[in-house]
A and B are shown apart, each in its own frame.
Chain A
Amino acid sequence: MLRATDRSQSRRDTAALLICAAVSFLVLLAPDSLGRSVSSSLRDTILSPLVWLQSEAVEGRTSRKRFREVSAQRDTATLLAQNLPVLQAENQRLRELLALSRRTGFRHVAAEVLHQSAASDGRMLLLDAGSDDGVAPFQPVVAPEGLLGVIASISAKSASVMTWAHPDFRVSAFTERGAIFGVVAPAGGSVGSEALLEFRAASYRDTLAAGTLVLSSGLGGVYPKGIPIGTVAGVAREQEGWERVYALRPSASPSATAHVMVLVGRAMSVEEAFPSDSVVAALRADSLRQRAAADSLLRVRIADSVRSALRDSLARSGAGAVASPVRTDSARAP
Chain B
Amino acid sequence: MAVGRDSRIGLGIVMLTLLVLEFYARPRIWESRVSPDFLMIALLIVAMGSRPGTGAIIGFVVGMVTDALTPARVGAGMLAHTIIGYLGAWGRAVFFAENILVHGAMFFAGVWLRNLMVLAASGGAGGSFFREAFVVAPLQGLSTAVAGVMVLYVVKEWLAIRLDV
Contact = CB atoms under 8 A, between A and B. Distances in A.
Given A16-B53, A117-B39, A119-B119, A39 B74 contact: yes
Contact of B78 (A24, A57, A124): A24
Nearest to B26: A117
A123 B72 contact: yes
Given A17-B53, A43-B69, A167 B131 contact: no
A20 B56 contact: yes
Contacts of A255: 33
A200 interface: no
A58 interface: yes
Given A12-B53, A126-B70, A193-B135, A24 B63 contact: yes
A187 B128 CA distance: 9
Nearest to A190: B127
Contacts of A187: 125, 127
Interface in A56-81: 56-58, 60-61
Interface residues on B, range: 35 or more
B136 A119 contact: yes
Interface stretch (A26-34, A89-97, A135-143, A273-281): A26-34
Contact of A188 (B68, B83, B126): B126
B125 A124 contact: no
Interface residues on A, range: 35 or more
Interface in B1-38: 19-20, 22-29, 31, 33, 35-38
B22 to A, nearest CB: 7
Contacts of A61: 27-29, 31
Contact of A9 (B31, B51, B63, B77): B51
Contacts of A118: 66, 69-70, 72, 77, 118
Given A124-B71, A153-B71, A28 B28 contact: no
A313 to B, nearest CB: 81
Interface of B: prevailing SS: helix
Interface string A207-239: 000000000000000000000000000000000
Contacts of B39: 117
A282 interface: no
Contacts of A305: none
A123 B71 CA distance: 9
A21 interface: yes
A53 B24 contact: yes
A153 B71 CA distance: 9
Interface in B34-90: 35-39, 51-54, 56-57, 59-60, 63-79, 82-83, 86
B65 A119 contact: no
A60 B28 contact: yes
A57 B28 contact: yes
B27 A16 contact: no
A27 B22 CA distance: 25
Nearest to B136: A119
A185 to B, nearest CB: 9
Given A9-B51, A255-B33, A24 B60 contact: yes
A120 B119 contact: yes
A120 B82 contact: no
A36 B71 CA distance: 7
A193 B51 CA distance: 40
Interface of B: 19-20, 22-29, 31, 33, 35-39, 51-54, 56-57, 59-60, 63-79, 82-83, 86, 114-115, 118-119, 121-128, 131-132, 135-137, 140
24 contacts: A9-B53, A13-B56, A14-B53, A17-B82, A24-B82, A28-B74, A28-B78, A36-B71, A39-B68, A39-B71, A42-B68, A43-B69, A57-B26, A117-B26, A118-B72, A120-B122, A122-B33, A124-B71, A125-B70, A160-B71, A166-B72, A186-B125, A188-B125, A193-B131
Interface of A: 9, 12-17, 20-21, 23-30, 32, 35-36, 38-39, 42-43, 47, 50-51, 53-54, 56-58, 60-61, 114-126, 152-153, 160, 165-167, 186-190, 193, 195-196, 255
The 4 closest A-B pairs by CB, nearest first: A35-B74, A28-B75, A120-B72, A16-B53
